Amino acid sequence: MTITAPIESDIRDRILDDPTVILDDREVMRALIAANERSMGGNIVDLRGIAMERLEARLDRLEDTHRSVIAAAYDNLAGMNQVHRAVLKMLDPTEFEIFLHNLTAEVAEILRVDFVRLVLESTQSEADPAVDRLGDVLQVVEPGAVDLYLTRGRDVPPRAVTLRQTLPASEGLFGADTDWIRSEALLKLDFGPGRLPGLLVMGSEDPHQFAPTQGTDLLGFFGGVFERSMRRWLS
């Protein structure tokens, strides 16, 4: 018969004084359960031990979910702050040309995009000097080109915000010098009754920066602010 050495009196007193020290320590509890199972022998099924293992597994899953939710919340908060900063910077200019050029500079830097282009539909075929001066940020296309680019020619209604990877077909709208863009965010713009629609394009060299599975609420908000600002400039 094996004689077990008595537990040290100071350790015993600490455990009796605060038993939660043992209960909160997962490794100690596992060791105690394992010792209990060995003392009962191999022919006895310890239902409490099985239940505890399942509870521990469930707790691990809940902790993983909790960490994922916290991480997502921080990402959403960071994204919201980023868009709010971009909106404030976009509203700073008091002249239209500066307003547009600012999109490709500070606003694009805040949003961490590599390419910004405003596309406007127009029925005028004559060249406009103002458009030539804004060629790096503004592009004028014929009516219907915005929806055609958004839907890629498919018979589907265009969405207000479209996130996707780019295809070689995109060169038809922006030219071969933008074939390095690997993903894009497309914000369709409504300038009000009697006006043709527009499109705000944000492009990235990273193929994973914009994807159809991502949320569009923040970009939709940014597009709404830009849309309303353009209405004032156009009026």
Residue 62's pLDDT band (boundaries 50, 70, 90)?
confident
pLDDT band at 1 (very low <50, low <70, confident <90, very high): very low
Which residues are CB-neighbours of 40 under 8 A, at least 6 positions away? 46
What b/e string do you get for 159-181 counting C-beta neighbours within 10 Å, with b at 16 or more? ebbbbebbeeebeebbeeebeeb
Q: How much is the pTM?
A: 0.66
pLDDT tens digit string along 11-48?
Answer: 778 878 877 777 777 777 777 777 766 666 555 555 56
Q: How confident is the model at residue 2 (pLDDT cuts 50, 70, 90)?
A: low
Tell me which residue of 172, 173, 178, 162 sits closest to 114, measured CA to CA.
Answer: 178
Q: Over 70: is that where the pLDDT of 131 sits? A: no
31 versus 104: which is more confidently predicted? 104
Domain 95-234 sits in CATH at 3.30.450.40
What is the pLDDT, as a whole number, of residue 123?
84
